[in-house]
Amino acid sequence: MSRDKTIQRILELSAEAHIARRRAPKDSPAFHALTGAIAAYGKVLTFLVAVETAGKNSPQLTDPLEVPQPESDPQTASQSPFISSLFKQISVSSN
């Protein structure tokens, strides 16, 4: 699926979630689940639009990445530099 079609589909899903949330009783589990889904769709859209914008400015940024395979031992996989740097990036971006 192309990036444009992916963005379009996420927009559709977000719109459907907004409609469903309006029908759900306020403060119900469904209302809160849909609120979380809408927030997640927004974050994914922000990311995809940023990737698209970066790709227009520098096509190299959207080339496929080589992701190292995790090590077979779960104990050592969590200590790998790749996993450690990934967790650092996630914690920095969430602040």
Helix (H, G, I), strand (E, B) or coil at 48: helix
Does a structural domain hold residue 52?
Answer: yes
Residue 39 inside a domain? The answer is yes
Domain-embedded: residue 86: no
pLDDT confidence bin for 18, thresholds 50/70/90:
very high
For the segment 68-75, the average pLDDT, to the nearest whole number, is 52
- Number of folded domains in the chain? 1
pLDDT band at 3 (very low <50, low <70, confident <90, very high): confident
pTM of the model: 0.57
Is 33 part of any domain? yes
Q: Is 40 part of a structural domain of the chain?
A: yes
In a domain, 73, yes or no: no
CA dihedral over 71, 81, 55, 46, signed as positive or negative: positive
Residue 7 phi/psi, 5° resolution? -60, -45
Widest CA span in the chain? 48
For the cut 80, the answer to whether the pLDDT of residue 71 exceeds it is no
pLDDT of residue 5: 87
Residue 88 counted as domain residue: no
What average pLDDT does the structure give for the chain? 75
pLDDT at 77 over 50: no
- Judged on CB neighbours under 10 Å (0-12, 13-18, 19+), 13 is middle
Expressed as residue numbers, the domain containing 42 is: 1-64
Question: What are the helix (H) ranges across 1-95?
Answer: 3-23, 29-57, 74-77, 81-94
pLDDT band at 48 (very low <50, low <70, confident <90, very high): confident
